[in-house]
Amino acid sequence: MISTDIINSIFPRDTLNDIETDLENDLALFLEWISFKPPLMDPSPRIRVAIKNVVNINNFNGYLHNSINNNFPDITITTIDETMMNIKQVYQFYSDIGKFLGLDISPIINYKFQILLEKPQFQHLLITYFDDNLLQFDDCLSPVSPKFNPPAGDKGLKGDTGDTFFYQYLPIFNQLNVGDNIMKIVVSVLIKKIKEYILNNCVNYELFFIDSINQWIKTMIYPNFKILLRSIDANFNYLSEILTISHNEFISLRINQIFDMVKAYPQSEPGLIELNKCLNFKNESHNQRDRLVSIFLDKIDSELLNSGINTINLIKMYIKIIKSFLIIDAKGVLLDKVIRPLRAYLKHRDDIIQKLVIGLIDDSSSNELIALNIELSKSEKRKLKIDEFSDLNWVPDPIDALPDFKNFKIKDIIESLISIFDSKEIFINEFTKFFGNKLINRSDNDISKILKLINLLKLRFGKNEFFNLDIMIQDILNSSPQLTVLSHLYWSDIIPESTGSVHEELNKEFAHFNKNFQKKSFNRYLKMIPELSKVTLKVNGKNYQVDMHHASVIMMFKDKEEVGLDEVVRELNMNEYNAGNVLKFWVEEGVLLKLGGVYVTND
Amino acid sequence: MKVEIVDWQAVASWHWDLKDDSITDELCGICRVAFDGTCPNCKYPGNECPLILGAGCQHNFHLHCILQWLEQDTSKGLCPMCRQVFEFRKDFNTVTKDINSLLMLIDGHKSMRDREVDEEFDSFDDDLRMND
Ligand SMILES: [Zn+2]
Ligand SMILES: [Zn+2]
Ligand SMILES: [Zn+2]
């Protein structure tokens, strides 16, 4: 390409005007002749003499170029038609001069037009022109298109558009030797068109689009584009490149939508599947994968990692991230990269273990994390699968995996959530507490359900982790409806601290249980746990099922008609608040009456 | 006022009866697990693995723990804690297979010790005779 520097080095600053010889007159006449007044006049005999004299000047060629450079007319940029006609006229004028003189002046002419072409206004003019007309070249008359001879009388607007371009503009561009520039502009317009098409038509990630994009390229964009560019480059054949460009545009859109897509899972499955498809196309670089990861991580940081979002929603999102990213990348490498910050964050949420435990265990529709319960119920099948295939199907980790990538742990939702925490113990403790409370308030139906759940949990957390719960279950299975016997060391979370002693008569009755138990239990004896025990009493002909404290208090009235609060506190080692509550219960039941500072029977 | 007990839904904890209030130990001297907990060989605590109460000394062990100890000849039938001859309180109402094994081991160690004493006497006699 010719630059100003090169021109200046070839042509000294001097112009033909500066030569002060006897040729002065001839020069004036010659300069007048070549000054831009289109069309170029046929030179008169006097001018011909002048030309003859000046061409013999030393380095005339250089002077001529310099003069054209300095006197080149400004081409005002108006409409495409006017501007192109203007260019044509200027070009014609100077190339006629060259022809007449028998000199090649195309370097300076092309250089001037090159500058014109690079002007933003002119670029803008061309971009607008191609933008408006690109999709109308298809039907037109093109010198190199297979449709060189269109059916007669079927021209219309499209035909006119093509005619104008191919017969009027294109020859000018070809003469100016600016095919590469035009090609660049057309490609930029093409990309703009593809972008617009995708942004206007493909935003909804709940639908599939790749097929319709390909179809649009093949029937709309490519034929027009090919006709146009083959007139510049006859070997043009870039369908696969254009498809790649459009797929890249499409991925860009989906990558920008990634956070919303994950949030919308499973409705967004079509979008995720197509993202996977595009990322796996042959020409795809790792750039898009990296961009996907960094955009998603930014979103996680700004949208999820703050205390305003409750733990349930965070876990829901965690599950969606796993499911979505395994669609995008089945190997789990991308998932591994995007899930790490959320894992680190969840680890320190106070209620996370409790929420996960309930999510896993509760099979009712009120469980907001029912997905975990469903996943747990699939554990049996999963275990089988892993045993069968683990060794046979081993493959090395993908190349862009992080060094501590764990293929197995990352893909399984429950495994992934458990592995957030360094030890399983906190889960086991929570399960033990949860099931312990269920077992102690048992109904027979519950026990078989609990057993089934614990068996599923054992598949996930390891069989031996549940030995404490196994003992608790064994205790319950060995118990009768009248008497539950606990191995106390294993119920420490459930057995409450003593809140009082038991009435003598209840203790005496309980001694029968102890006697029976000792008969079949070597040297073991029983201690009643009043806070967990219940008794059914018949009081004044009516049955009440109450705990030992309520029973003990009312039994004090068996032999006495009147008992004071202080007496209850003293005799049953209860605190005043609890004793007061129990008495209040019996008053509300109509069994006792409160008279001043004492309670009396209401027979 | 008339208050009758109609039905019970009692909850209780069980404990090994140490039969001696002066014993403050709560851990098996061998496995260091609480008496009321499971020995390392058992899945559940209770009748399968009763607490064996020392009779000669005041040391108590899970049945399986003391069995394992006495199965070694080097134990010589002594308590692992105080090195007295190990005896235990046999006030059970049933004798299980494991308790029977314990009885036999203790007997075995006893006769082994008796034989050793006899042999010592014999060699003492021999020495006397040789000195004659
Ligand atoms: Zn032990
Ligand atoms: Zn045992
Ligand atoms: Zn001892």
The pLDDT, as a whole number, for residue A98 is: 86
Closest CA to A481 of B12, B9, B5, B13: B9
Q: Measured between CA atoms, how close is B27 to chain A, in angstroms?
A: 12
Q: Does the pLDDT at position A444 exceed 80? A: no
The residues near A178 (Cβ < 8 Å, ≥ 6 apart) are A110, A113, A114, A117
The pLDDT, as a whole number, for residue A55 is: 83
Q: Residue A596 to residues A315, A409, A564: CA-CA distances in angstroms?
A: 57, 69, 10
Query: Residue B42: nearest ligand to its CA?
Result: 2
Residues A220-263: pLDDT tens digits?
888 777 777 766 666 666 788 888 889 889 999 999 999 999 99
- Which tokens is A579 given? 């004793």
Q: Write down the residue that tokens 């001839």 correspond to.
A: A26
* Cα A168 to Cα A164: distance, rounded to the nearest angstrom: 5
The residues near A27 (Cβ < 8 Å, ≥ 6 apart) are A16, A17, A19, A50, A54
* Cα A272 to Cα A274: distance, rounded to the nearest angstrom: 5
**Touching check for A473 and chain B: CB below 8 Å?**
no
* Cα B55 to Cα B89: distance, rounded to the nearest angstrom: 5
State the pLDDT confidence band at A209, using cuts at 50, 70 and 90.
very high
Looking at domain A504-601, its CATH superfamily turns out to be Cullin; Chain C, Domain 2 (3.30.230.130)
DSSP E strands in A487-558: the ranges are 524-528, 534-539, 542-547
Quick one: average pLDDT of A263-279? Answer: 94
Residues A518-571: pLDDT tens digits?
888 888 999 999 999 999 999 988 999 999 999 999 999 998 889 999 999 999
Residues of B in contact with A486 (CB under 8 A): 11-14
Quick one: average pLDDT of A331-344? Answer: 92
The pLDDT, as a whole number, for residue B14 is: 96
Question: At B128, is the secondary structure helix, strand, or coil?
Answer: helix
Q: Which of A156-165, A171-180, A191-200, A222-231 has the lowest mean pLDDT?
A: A156-165
Angle between helices A120-133 and A80-101 (to 10 degrees): 120
Question: At B54, is the secondary structure helix, strand, or coil?
Answer: strand
- Is the preceding peptide bond at A146 cis, omega within 30 degrees of 0? no
**Touching check for A545 and chain B: CB below 8 Å?**
yes
Closest CA to A61 of A92, A98, A95, A17: A98
Q: Write down the residue that tokens 């072409």 correspond to.
A: A117
Does residue B119 or residue A583 have the better pLDDT?
A583
**Beta carbon pairs, A and B, within 8 Å:** 150
Q: State which H helix or E strand residue A189 sits in.
A: helix A179-201
CA A234 to chain centre: 42
State the pLDDT confidence band at A393, using cuts at 50, 70 and 90.
low
Q: Measured between CA atoms, how close is B103 to chain A, in angstroms?
A: 16
Q: For the purposes of burial, counting CB atoms within 10 Å of the CB of A425, is it exposed (0-12), middle (13-18) or buried (19 or more)?
A: exposed
Q: How far is the CA of B100 from the centre of ligand 1 (A)?
A: 18
Closest Cβ–Cβ partner in A513, A554, A557 for B10? A513
Residues B18-74: pLDDT tens digits?
887 777 778 999 999 999 999 999 999 999 999 999 998 889 999 999 999 999 999
Quick one: average pLDDT of B8-20? Answer: 91
Residues of A in contact with B43 (CB under 8 A): 467, 470-471
Q: Residue B112 to residues B69, B72, B104, B109, B115: CA-CA distances in angstroms?
A: 16, 13, 12, 5, 5
The pLDDT, as a whole number, for residue A242 is: 85
Domain-wise residue ranges, chain B? 51-131
Query: Residue B80: nearest ligand to its CA?
Result: 3
Strand A483-486, strand B3-16: pairing: parallel
Q: For the purposes of burial, counting CB atoms within 10 Å of the CB of A323, is it exposed (0-12), middle (13-18) or buried (19 or more)?
A: middle
What is the complex's ipTM, to 2 decimals? 0.89
Q: How far is the CA of A252 from the centre of ligand 2 (A)?
A: 66
DSSP assignment, residue A102? T
* Residue A455: half-sphere exposure toward Cβ, Cα within 13 Å: 9
Does residue A154 or residue A96 have the better pLDDT?
A96
For residues A415 and A459, the answer to whether their CB atoms sit within 8 Å is no
State the pLDDT confidence band at A2, using cuts at 50, 70 and 90.
very low
Closest Cβ–Cβ partner in A471, A539, A561 for B3? A539
* Cα A80 to Cα A129: distance, rounded to the nearest angstrom: 7
User: Mean pLDDT of all residues in chain A?
Assistant: 83
Residues A64-107: pLDDT tens digits?
888 888 888 888 888 888 888 888 888 888 888 888 888 888 88
Domain-wise residue ranges, chain A? 4-118, 504-601
Q: Does the pLDDT at position A152 exceed 60? A: no
Residues A12-30: pLDDT tens digits?
445 555 544 567 788 888 8
Residues A409-439: pLDDT tens digits?
667 888 889 889 988 899 999 999 999 988 9
The pLDDT, as a whole number, for residue A388 is: 42
The pLDDT, as a whole number, for residue A1 is: 43
- Which tokens is A251 given? 């991925």
Does residue A62 or residue A324 have the better pLDDT?
A324
pTM passes above 0.80: no
The pLDDT, as a whole number, for residue A285 is: 63
The answer to whether the Cβ–Cβ distance between A509 and B12 falls below 8 Å is no
Residues A495-514: pLDDT tens digits?
999 889 999 999 999 999 99
* Cα B59 to Cα B27: distance, rounded to the nearest angstrom: 10
